Amino acid sequence: MEVELDADALAPHTWRAVWNDWVACCRETWMCQEEALFRDDAMNPAEWELHSSWRRHCPEPRICLRVFRILSIAEAWMLAVAVGVAMYATYAQPAGWPIAVSGDYMIVFQLTSFAVALLLVFRTNAAYARWWEARTAFGRWLNSVRNSQRMLISWTPASEAYLVREYARWMASLTPAACAYLRRKDCYWEHCAEVLAPGEISWLRGCDNPPVKVLMVLSGLVARTSLDSYQRAAIEAELSAYDIALGACERISRQAAPKAYTRHTSRFIIVYLTFLPFALWSYTKWLTLPVIVVLTFLLLGIENIGIQIENPVSVLPLHSFCAGLKTAALNMVKHQHQVHAALEAGLVEAAAAEAAKPEQLPAGLQQRVQDVAHLRQRHGGGANGGANGSGAPPPQAGVFRGFLFGPNM
């Protein structure tokens, strides 16, 4: 599959664009999210090697700063609480104020730390399950495209090649239509500019569910072929599999994990970290401030990962999927003649090899091998494969195979 960056077209460097970028940055900070940071781009061999090297243990300053910006509101709150605890323990509590800071409180956090761990584990596992289901559905798209295209090319007669080309054209636009529908963004329609007419793109953009309309067009093209009912049913099964995978992505993008589960987990961690400085001060003193900042970064970072991958449609490389599936659909039609030529050439060689070694065949096929040899000589095949001076091309390989093995072999 061809890969391109999953990014929208760059906006012009105008004051309005700068203002919009700044507003979006402030909104991401306030909402504690940044889709671009958690985007799962396609991997190449070099990136896989870097991904599995020892450098994965080293923090990336730029990435850490971006994550810290996402968590800046919670970090500021925890730092303010830690400063308040430090001031109270240093000045107010020695002056006779009630004892609110004590190392004895640490037993409470020791007894509840397992709950924090379990909540984080279950939260991230549930989010990853949704991510993996969506990724599997997108992978099923590729299988459906290749399988249906392959079967249509192999079974359709040459007189209906125009239907095959039309099918490939609409199949190339199916994934961009699905991605534009799932993410509600128009940038994915750019992938259809090379395969669909402007009127067709406008019609799809005006539909309530563009990928379903494309599937209807594909089913209509299959129905217009001369394929028998079993062959059409096999192709329709692949289109139905695509539709089922699309439905899974719709369900995931429209329904989040139970809100009570998500909110209780995040609020439990906030309460845990808020009261932790009251017990931690007796052990770390003024180091409580950096310690609580780091703990907040680590624990809330895990929880934030679960939030980001809970909606996999926003982080998966949809532009790469559009480009790859479009290339897969168009290249199969583009190289159709080369595939047929390679197939026929291989069958000719196989038939020639079988005719040259009749003693290796069963006794019942000896006479057929001799007849094939006479047939090759009659058509100019000979030992030179059609270059015996007569200039006549060898017969089609299907003639040899059908004559040698019969229609049921």
341 vs 196, which has greater pLDDT?
Answer: 196
For the residues 111-133, what does the mean pLDDT come to? 92
Mind listing the pLDDT tens digit for each residue in 356-397?
A: 665 555 555 555 556 655 655 655 544 444 444 444 444 444
pTM score above 0.85:
no
For residues 73 and 56, give the distance between their C-alpha atoms in angstroms, rounded to a whole number: 27
pLDDT, position 35: 55
The domain limits of the chain are 1-47+59-334, 337-405
Number of C-beta neighbours around residue 398 at 10 A: 13
Residue of 123, 104, 125 whose CA lies nearest to 115 = 123
Band (255; pLDDT cuts 50, 70, 90): confident
Assign 3-class secondary structure to 6-50: CCCCCCCCCHHHHHHHHHHHHHHHHHCCCHHHHCCCCCCHHHHHH
Number of C-beta neighbours around residue 41 at 10 A: 16
Q: How is residue 204 written in tokens? A: 């799809």
Mind listing the pLDDT tens digit for each residue in 42-97?
A: 677 777 787 778 877 887 777 788 788 888 899 999 999 999 999 999 999 998 89
Q: How is residue 70 written in tokens? A: 């996402």
For residues 293 and 266, give the distance between their C-alpha atoms in angstroms, rounded to a whole number: 16
For residues 399 and 381, give the distance between their C-alpha atoms in angstroms, rounded to a whole number: 13
pLDDT higher than 60, residue 234: yes
In angstroms, how far is the first alpha carbon of the chain from the final one?
A: 37
- Longest distance between any two alpha carbons in the chain, whole Å: 116
Q: How is residue 51 written in tokens? A: 């991904």
Mind listing the pLDDT tens digit for each residue in 333-350?
A: 887 777 777 777 777 777
CB within 8 Å of 199: residues ≥ 6 apart: none
Q: What percent of the chain has pLDDT over 70?
A: 75
Residue of 78, 117, 132 whose CA lies nearest to 288 = 78
Band (398; pLDDT cuts 50, 70, 90): very low
Q: How is residue 167 written in tokens? A: 């099918």
Alpha-helical regions (H) of 224-317: 229-254, 259-284, 288-309
For the residues 182-197, what does the mean pLDDT come to? 90
For residues 2 and 168, give the distance between their C-alpha atoms in angstroms, rounded to a whole number: 17
Task: Identify the three-state secondary structure at position 278.
Answer: helix
Task: Note the Cα 204 to chain centre separation in Å.
Answer: 23
Query: E strands, 147-305, where?
Result: none
Q: How is residue 26 written in tokens? A: 């402030």
Band (259; pLDDT cuts 50, 70, 90): confident
CB within 8 Å of 221: residues ≥ 6 apart: 163, 166, 167, 170
By residue count, the chain amounts to: 409
For residues 398 and 75, give the distance between their C-alpha atoms in angstroms, rounded to a whole number: 73
